[in-house]
Amino acid sequence: MVVTGNTFLNHDRISRSVTRMVGVGFRLGGKISPYLASRAGVWLFTKPHRSPILPSEEQLLAKSRSYDLDHKDGKLTVMEWGEGPVILCVHGWSSRGLRFSPLIELLLDSGYRVVAFDAPAHGRSSGSHIDLMDYVDALMQVSRNVGPLQGIVAHSFGATATLLALEKGLSTEKIVFFSALNGLRGPLDYLAEKLQMSPEVLQEVKGVFETRFNRSIESLEAVRIVPLLTTPPLLVFHDRDDPVLPYHNALDLTGVWKNSQLVGTLGSTHHSILDDPGVVSATVSFFRGTKDPQPGVAVSPS
């Protein structure tokens, strides 16, 4: 997790100087009241920003069948295109369902029904805060509404939500992960370092989430969950120089996921990997069960 893009602390909203000021506040607050400092940390960690729809996405949105689902005390915005086997798109933190636009277009051309949604507190859905289990619940609700899934594509934080949904019984024939996040421990540790949290405050933050989730932070790691699942075939795209989530995250994931394949890209960022023509083409080929030359990427079976 770094201060850039669709991550937990967004550089567009919180400059380096402001981040330093927040860090001073956490350092002092941790000495005065670790309890209050930890609650502030939880607030930050569950507060995404809403990324706007880009002009290039407006035409795709206009072609969608868009509707809202009642979800807890609010609504989930869902978009659908096409007919045929269902591919569900699960976006990352502070992102939106339309972020998969290049892939959605190609999947439609290949005869799929594509479903995307905005998670709570994201895009056009309601809410201001969300934690990992909130995202899992939303994902499960959308999947129940749209019927059997042929496939799932998930980016970053959405990959962890998908993994935990599989643990809850979500079923699909194939999965593609882009720049996958494998749990919460890494982001929480990064948050603590970036905001100069003391070990005591960090432990309090972890404790809040462990109480909410009724399980340990460690139990949310992919290396703990995957061996207990009956896993569908998985294709993972991850840039070898990803500055947000280092490449070892992909190696760890595919190391425990038996029927998986890792594609290490070169030159794609954590976010622009979703726009890479070779990655998009290879994703569709994976769902169709056809071979793809995958130009510009290095393939590494696990």
- Parse the chain into domains and list their residue ranges: 53-182+222-301
| Angle of helix 199-213 versus helix 16-32 axis, rounded to 10 | 90
For 153-163, what is the mean pLDDT?
97
pLDDT band for 292, please (50, 70, 90 cuts): low
Rounded CA separation 188/157 (Å): 13
Residues in contact with 273: Cβ distance below 8 Å, sequence separation at least 6, in sequence order: 178, 179, 237, 238, 239, 265, 279
Q: Is the pLDDT of residue 2 over 80?
A: no
Find residue 67's DSSP bridge partners: 78
pTM beyond 0.75: yes
Closest by Cα among 154, 171, 139 to 69: 139
Q: List the single range of 22-26, 165-169, 180-184, 255-259 with lowest mean pLDDT.
A: 22-26
Strand ranges (E), 195-274:
234-239, 260-265
Residues in contact with 155: Cβ distance below 8 Å, sequence separation at least 6, in sequence order: 90, 91, 92, 95, 99, 100, 177, 178, 179, 274
CATH topology of domain 53-182+222-301: Rossmann fold (3.40.50)
pLDDT of residue 291: 64
- Residue range 194-242, pLDDT digits in tens: 777 788 888 888 999 999 999 999 999 999 999 999 999 999 999 999 9
Q: List the single range of 113-127, 163-177, 242-256 with lowest mean pLDDT.
A: 242-256
| Percent residues over pLDDT 70 in the chain | 85
3-state secondary structure (DSSP) of residue 189: helix
